[in-house]
Amino acid sequence: MFSLFPWQATQRAHLPPCVEEYLATSRPVDEKSWRDVSYSVLDLETTGLIANRDVILSIGLVEIDQGRIHLERNWYSLVQPPPDVQVPAESICIHKLMHCDLVDAPALREVLLELLARLRGRVLVVHFAQIDIEFLKRALRKLWGVPMQGPAIDTMRIAQMMYQQDMRLMGEEGMGRRMVTSLSELAEDARLPIYEQHNALTDALTTAQLFLAQATRLERRGMGTLRGLLRAGRCLR
């Protein structure tokens, strides 16, 4: 239960409607087959990796329903950084987002309102979620004093769990086998196409395809419900 301090209660009374709807939407049923659950697969590009210092520059989202990616519903938005924030040269080398690309982008508040509308009632999927989810949690607290809703699944955590299972089954035969955690390497190992890296939308698409491959493998291992996927990769309750 999320408890409100007095100043938060006042703020909560004046939330935008889509934030209220996001908070009020019930979570999916854990016992459902994973194929009957709706997912939103997300990726962020930021000025760096420290959520209390860096800012979000772009968001990409890919939707999965009935075990299929729906490309026609992909969503991507740039985010205008605050006036006092300069995009570091080292981060530009990674994501290629320059000041001229961002100057006319919508502000974070506007982009997050659209994002929350798209997340409502869906399970969030992220690769290496520790970073992206911390950025979103801090932004929601700062803008509206509200928490981020779960559940959410981290494809990197699923990969780590499956690696550990495989090592137990292989025993000595698995000695020396390296654990892979990067998105591109996991996609390559699963023989999936790898799209442009460090673009929020194409990384979200790669993550969505990896998630479907992982969920299918977990289903074969008797973990074919949402509960099974959460047990393997939960990163937000």
Q: Which residues contact 130 (CB under 8 A, 6 or more apart)?
A: 154, 235
What is the spatial distance between Cα 155 and Cα 206, in angstroms, rounded to a whole number? 11
Is residue 164 domain-resident?
Answer: yes
Domain-located, residue 20: no
Q: Is 96 contained in some domain?
A: yes
Using DSSP's 3-state secondary structure scheme, residue 229 falls into: helix
Per-residue pLDDT of the chain (237 residues), as tens digits, is 344 444 344 456 589 999 999 999 999 999 999 999 999 999 999 999 999 999 999 999 999 999 999 999 999 999 999 999 999 999 999 999 999 999 999 999 999 999 999 999 999 999 999 999 999 999 999 999 999 999 999 999 999 999 998 888 776 665 567 788 999 999 999 999 989 999 999 999 999 999 999 999 999 999 999 999 999 999 998
- Rounded CA-CA distance 44/18 in Å is 21
Integer CA distances (angstroms), 34 to 101, 124, 215, 219, in order? 38, 13, 8, 8
DSSP strand E in 138-205: where?
Answer: 152-154
Is 177 domain-assigned? yes
Q: Which domain holds residue 97?
A: 31-236
Could you give the number of structural domains in the chain? Answer: 1
* Pure H helices in 36-128: 89-95, 99-102, 108-119
Contact assessment for residue 160 and residue 179, using Cβ atoms and an 8 Å cutoff: yes
Using alpha carbons only, what angle is made at residue 74 by residues 68 and 75, rounded to the nearest 5 degrees? 150
CATH number at residue 220: 3.30.420.10
* Domain presence at residue 52: yes
Give domain status of residue 17, yes or no. no
Handedness of CA 96, 46, 23, 66 (dihedral sign): positive
- pTM, full prediction: 0.91
Residue 26: inside a domain: no
**Cα-Cα end-to-end distance for the chain:** 11
- Encoded amino acid at 204, one letter: A
Say if 8 falls within a structural domain. Answer: no
